[in-house]
Chain A
Amino acid sequence: MRMTLGRNDTGENSLLEQYVATQSNVANIVTAAMGLAVMVGLFGVVVLICCYAEEDYRKLLADLILVQGSTAAGFVLAGCTLYMQCINVGNQSRRLTLAARLTASLLLLLSIAFLLQNFLGVNLSRAHLPGLALVGSAIGAEIHPLAATCLLLVALALLLHDQATRGGHYPAEYLAFILIGLAAIPLVGYLYGIHKLTFLSYSTGIPLLSALVFLLLGAALLMARPSHRLMAIIVGHAPGGNMLRRLLPSMLLLILLLNLLVAQGAEYRLYDDRLMLPFLTLIDGALVVFIFWRFAGRLDREYGARMHSAAKLAETNSLLTAVSDSTSEPIFVKNRQGLLVFANPALLQQVGKNWEEAMYRSSRDLFSSIEDADRIDEDDKRVMASGLPETIEQTLHLQHGIFTYQSTRVPWFDKSGNVLGVIGISTDISERKRAEDSLREREARLEKTVIERTALLRELTNHLETVREEEKRAIARELHDNMGASLTALSMHLESVYKILPDDEKWQERKPRIQGLMSSLVGTTRRIQTELRPNMLDLFGLKAAITEQLDELAERTDMVCKASLPDEDVVIGHEMEIAIYRMLQEMLNNVAKHAKASLVNVILDIDEEQVALTVRDNGIGIPPERRDNNKTYGLRGLRERATFFGGSVDIRPASGSGALITIRLPLAPAAAV
């Protein structure tokens, strides 16, 4: 917000502002310093070359030659050193550091030599380095003492570039400022056309280009280390740096322009020379007032904005605090190391500690159960690693009981998307959990009851079946013992009676009628008896009983009945035998009643696992609606019996025509089903 305001206010500096605001400004400033260093170095090289130019070009290059080869050599050394130091920020490369030291020391020696030459008249190069004389007059001639001083300053600044005092000050920065100040003197002189300032009581003036290059060198020296104390002020985001960037260039420019105008006025005799000083005083005073007022205004606005945002922050803070304090759901924030950095009262209550006790504690310190703590840490780590929110159900063993929480974990990101930690909000779902558990338990109980009841029902069915069979057996026994025996005895008596019947026509005609009645009575009794109790089954087993049934059916209905039975004796237990016998009876009855068949096949198959009884007829078949209809008594009876033994009934159309019914009963004990 601050930045946008500033940008709108000062249009002229908006580019610089933007530049400073960018993240890579520090690196960019260093790059700019590198550019300046290269420029200075190249300038030195150009000047050196010009010094050896032909006589014809000398006039053209007079300005460059004026800089002098000696100064130019200093520029080359200074440019190289600065460039190396710009590449080698933080002294990562030892070789570069050493090279920079070397060139800076050379520069230092050179500048000292120039100064000695100036003040003591010692010509070192001539006296001790005759080789240099060969190079010509370009190098070795006396240079302006200001230039020599500036070179000395540059050399010192380069040597001390990264040295800091104990207070955090960088001497190189102050040296660079002095350098800029010194370079500014002749520049101002040139600007106002005052020779005193350019000559500085010396025989020749310091060249304009030299002064400019020194100014640039000073700036480059500062820019090469933007993180150092003084540079940090102007580069930084703080209001001071802001102010400096916005006001400094415009104010310098303004002073320069106004003063120039005043001087021009005096020169054109608009007013007396004596009035110049008061004018300057008034204008500079006005500027100072303006600067301070503006500065104060800016500062106040900054302060106001800051206060405003602080108030907003406080409001937001209090709102957040109110929410986190009043909610009954534990909220926490942990850092990457899993240490608690924020906890609301609900969480503190959960762990039974106050904030001083819980602050910067790990889960193991907070929770009494180590397993719980480790599980929490595991969840947190997973969320931090994945960067995705998760909702977890956790059961915690707290001091006041066992609670179940539904905990939502969210990774805590900084502005650039790095994970700083994890935020968690938990909801107590113990009640819900308990309800769910009890529901589940009740369901299980219900299921168990259903199973028990089913077993009971099956038991009951079994019992009913047994009772039925028992009753049938009793009736059959009764029939046999009493009625059957009496009938038999009666028949035998009658046999004797027939012999003595009167020989008249009436009795002879009655005799066959009596015999017929008798045999019908006996036959019915026998049939009922057999149906009630398959005597054959008891006596000779299943195979014989099946054969008997088929024989009887064939006799009764004229159907062709065929049986395919296993060779070995069938021993599958009395209950199952009687069930199979009854089911066969049922099926054969159905065939006789409904199928209109002329052929019935009965197949009994027994292996180690199951008994299969198949009845196939060539009749009209069983219509599907009847086949699946459980209400059809006969088929339902079959299914009930088969189910009781854990078996199945399969009804399908036979190939060709008719029906095919297969009953399969497992030979495992019925209780296992």
Chain B
Amino acid sequence: MEQLLQKLAEQEGGTTASPLRIFLVEDSPDVRDLIMESLAEIPGVLLAGYSETEQDAMRRLEDEDFDVLILDIQLKQGNGMNLLQSLARSGKRRHDELKIIFSNHVSATYRRVGLQYGVQFFFDKSSEFTKLRSLIERLSGKGPSPVAAAPSGFLPA
């Protein structure tokens, strides 16, 4: 995982001019606003768009270009896991974007299933927002060095 992160950081670092494009799938407006506000503060981060439902997200993700996908599991319509499954099946997209689950459902079972769909990070919505933010900061290349602030929320791979 560390290696992966390093690789990603290098990738981003190599193209400092282009910002880190983030797509957010979150159904609760309160939470969504908060995340967007918070992430927008990070320099070099661009919010490519957001979606509230699985269908809408699926449709928009086909067209949008993004580097990081942050998604919730339970949505007003559909769910994040199905979305990941559909994305994997559609095959239109390259699969190197970073997929982060930011949800209340972070039990071992979810983590296991998520891994199957190429999810790299899981964060508990209620307690690990800081960790998500740190990760994004580091990916955008503006945050503290990865080694210095190894986030504790990282999954043991």
A481 engages B109 (CB within 8 Å): no
A547 within 8 A of B: yes
Selecting from A340-348, A484-492, A585-593, the interface stretch reads A484-492
B90 located at the interface, meaning its Cβ lies under 8 Å from any Cβ of chain A in the complex: no
Which A residues from 481 to 514 make CB contacts under 8 A with B? Answer: 481, 484-489, 491-493, 495-496
- Centre residue among A484, A488, A540, A544 by max chain B CB count within 10 A: A488
What's the Cα separation between A415 and B104 when bound, in Å? 106
CA distance A76 to B127 in the complex (A): 152
Interface residue from A493, A495, A518, A522 paired with B104 (Cβ < 8 Å): A522
Across the interface, do A485 and B126 meet the contact criterion of CB distance under 8 Å?
no
Q: Which residues of A contact B105 (CB under 8 A)?
A: 526, 535
- The chain A residue sitting closest to B29, CB to CB, is A485
**Cβ distance A309 to chain B, nearest Cβ, rounded Å:** 111
Residues of A whose CB lies within 8 Å of any CB of B are: 480-481, 484-489, 491-493, 495-496, 515, 518-519, 522, 526, 535-536, 538-540, 544, 547-548, 551-552
- Enumerate chain A residues within 8 angstroms of B31, measured Cβ to Cβ: 485, 488-489, 492
**How far, in Å, is B131 (CB) from chain A's closest CB?**
10
B109 touches A540 (CB 8 A): yes
In chain B between 136 and 153, which residues have their CB closer than 8 angstroms to a CB of chain A? Answer: none
Give bound CA distance, A552 to B110, whole Å.
Answer: 13
Q: Are A551's CB and B28's CB within 8 A?
A: no
Q: Which of B13-21, B58-66, B73-81 contacts A (4 or more CB under 8 A)?
A: B73-81
Contact indicator B74/A495 (Cβ below 8 Å): no
Q: List 14 A-B contacts (CB under 8 A).
A: A486-B30, A488-B30, A488-B126, A491-B129, A492-B126, A495-B130, A515-B127, A522-B104, A526-B105, A535-B73, A539-B113, A540-B109, A544-B109, A551-B109
Is B82's CB within 8 Å of the partner chain A? yes
Name B104-125 residues within 8 Å CB distance of A: 104-105, 107-110, 113, 125
**B34 within 8 Å of A by Cβ?**
yes
Interface size on B, residues (CB 8 A): 25
Which listed residue (B38, B74, B109, B126) contacts A491, Cβ 8 A?
Answer: B126
B126 and A487 contacting across the interface, CB-CB below 8 Å: yes
**Bound Cα distance from A518 to B126, whole angstroms:** 8
User: Which residues from chain B contact A552 at a C-beta distance below 8 Å?
Assistant: 107
Q: A485 vs B102: C-alpha distance in the bound complex, in angstroms? A: 13
B30 closest partner in A (C-beta): A489
Using Cβ atoms and an 8 Å threshold, which residues of chain A touch B34?
489, 492-493
A495 with B129: CB separation less than 8 A:
yes
A488 touches B109 (CB 8 A): no
Q: Which among B104, B108, B127, B130 is the interface contact of A551 at CB below 8 angstroms?
A: B108
Residues of A near B108 (CB, < 8 A) are: 551
In the complex with contacts A489-B28, A492-B34, A548-B109, A484-B104 CB distance below 8 A: yes
Nearest-CB residue, chain A, relative to B34:
A492
- Taking CB as reference atom, which chain A residue is nearest B106? A526
Shortest CB-to-CB span from A447 to chain B, Å, is 49
Q: How far is the CB of B86 from chain A (nearest CB, A)?
A: 13
* Pick from A481, A491, A522, A540: contact of B113, CB under 8 Å: A540
Q: How far is the CB of A652 from chain B (nearest CB, A)?
A: 31
How far is it, in angstroms, between the C-alpha of A356 and the C-alpha of B128 when the chains are bound?
Answer: 115
Cβ contacts under 8 Å, A489 to chain B:
28, 30-31, 34
Tell whether A539 pairs with B130 under 8 Å between CB atoms, given A544-B109, A544-B113. Answer: no
From A518, A535, A544, A548, B74 is in contact (CB under 8 Å) with: A535
Distance between Cα atoms of A536 and B79 in the complex (Å): 11
Residues of B within 8 A of A548 (CB): 107, 109
What's the least CB distance linking B42 to chain A, in Å? 14
Supply 6 further A-B pairs (C-beta < 8 A) apart from A485-B28, A488-B125: A480-B74, A485-B27, A522-B104, A536-B109, A551-B109, A552-B107
Q: Which residue of B lies closest to A484 (CB)?
A: B104
**B127 and A519 form a contact (CB under 8 A):** yes
Instruction: Give CA–CA (A486, B76) in the complex, Å.
Output: 15
Q: What B residues does A518 contact at CB under 8 A?
A: 126-127
- Chain A residues within 8 Å of B28, by CB: 481, 484-485, 488-489
Write the nearest CB–CB distance from B39 to chain A, whole angstroms: 12
Question: B79, A539: Cβ atoms under 8 Å?
Answer: yes
Q: A488-B28, A489-B31, A547-B109 are in contact. Are A481 and B126 (CB under 8 A)?
A: no
Question: Which residues of B lie under 8 Å from residue A539 when comparing CB positions?
Answer: 73, 79, 81-82, 113
B residues in contact with A519, CB < 8 Å: 126-127
Q: What distance in Å separates the Cβ of A531 from its nearest Cβ neighbour in chain B? A: 14
Q: Cβ of B30: which chain A residues have Cβ within 8 Å of it?
A: 485-486, 488-489
Inter-chain contacts of A484 with B (CB < 8 A): 28, 104
When distances are taken between beta carbons in the complex, the residues of chain B under 8 Å from A551 are: 107-109
The distance in angstroms between the C-alpha atoms of A493 and B35, with both chains bound, is 10
Query: How many angstroms from the CA of A540 to the CA of B110 in the assembled complex?
Result: 9
Within the complex, the shortest CB–CB distance from B154 to chain A, in Å, comes to 18
Residues in B with CB closer than 8 Å to A515 are: 127
B113 nearest in chain A by CB position: A540
CA distance A493 to B125 in the complex (A): 11
For B104, list chain A residues within 8 Å (CB).
484, 488, 522, 526
A487 contacts across to B, CB distance below 8 A? 126
What 3 pairs between A and B have smallest CB-CB spacing? A485-B28, A489-B30, A491-B126
The chain A residue sitting closest to B28, CB to CB, is A485
Most A C-beta atoms less than 10 A away, residue of B73, B74, B76: B74
Which residues does chain B contribute within 8 Å of A540, judged by CB atoms? Answer: 81, 109, 113
Chain B 86-114 interface residues, beta-carbon cutoff 8 Å to A: 104-105, 107-110, 113
Give Cα A495 to B34, complex, Å.
11
Closest to B81 in A: A539
Q: What residue of chain A has the Cβ atom nearest to residue B79's Cβ? A: A539
**In the bound complex, how far is the Cα of B130 from the Cα of A551, in angstroms?**
27
User: When chains A and B are docked, how far (Å) is the Cα of A258 from the Cα of B116?
Assistant: 150
Find the A residue at minimum CB distance from B76: A481
B103 CB to closest chain A CB, in angstroms?
9
Q: Within residues 10 to 57 of chain B, which ones have a CB less than 8 A from any CB in chain A?
A: 27-28, 30-31, 34-35, 38
Task: Tell me the smallest distance from the CB of A365 to a CB of chain B, in Å.
Answer: 87
In the bound complex, CA of A547 to CA of B108 (Å):
10
Q: How far is the CA of A496 from the CA of B113 in the complex (A)?
A: 31
The residues of A that contact B126 with a CB separation of less than 8 Å are 487-488, 491-492, 518-519, 522
Name which residue of chain B comes closest to A498, CB basis: B130
Q: Which residue of B lies closest to A493 (CB)?
A: B34
